[in-house]
Amino acid sequence: DGYFYQRVSECRYSSKDLQGIEFIDSYVFNKAEYVRFNSTVGKYVGYTEYGVKNAEAWNKGPELAGELGELERVCKHNAPIDYSA
């Protein structure tokens, strides 16, 4: 009865060292991930035909610069709070 869209952004911490932080931003449509930004890879990667087209466009546009800043702005900034929990 409709469509399902979800965007999940998360910080993954592998150690207390700030170098071990990874930012993931996933885009899901009808329970299938179609494109993802990973700060370790440094760009968007598409997993479906539609996702590949989005990734190509977003990697050339201002979207990429915005995602690259999220690791510093969100993950590293909030690391002390997340580590204390």
Give me the residues of the chain with pLDDT under 50, please: none
pLDDT at position 13 is 85
Query: What topology is assigned to 3-82 in CATH?
Result: 3.10.320
pLDDT at position 43 is 97
The CA-based dihedral angle spanning residues 5, 79, 60, 57, taken in that order and rounded to the nearest 10 degrees: -10
- In the 8-state DSSP scheme, what is residue 14? S
Residues 7-19 have pLDDT tens digits of: 999 998 877 667 7
In whole angstroms, what is the distance from residue 17 CA to residue 14 CA?
8
Residue ranges covered by each domain of the chain: 3-82
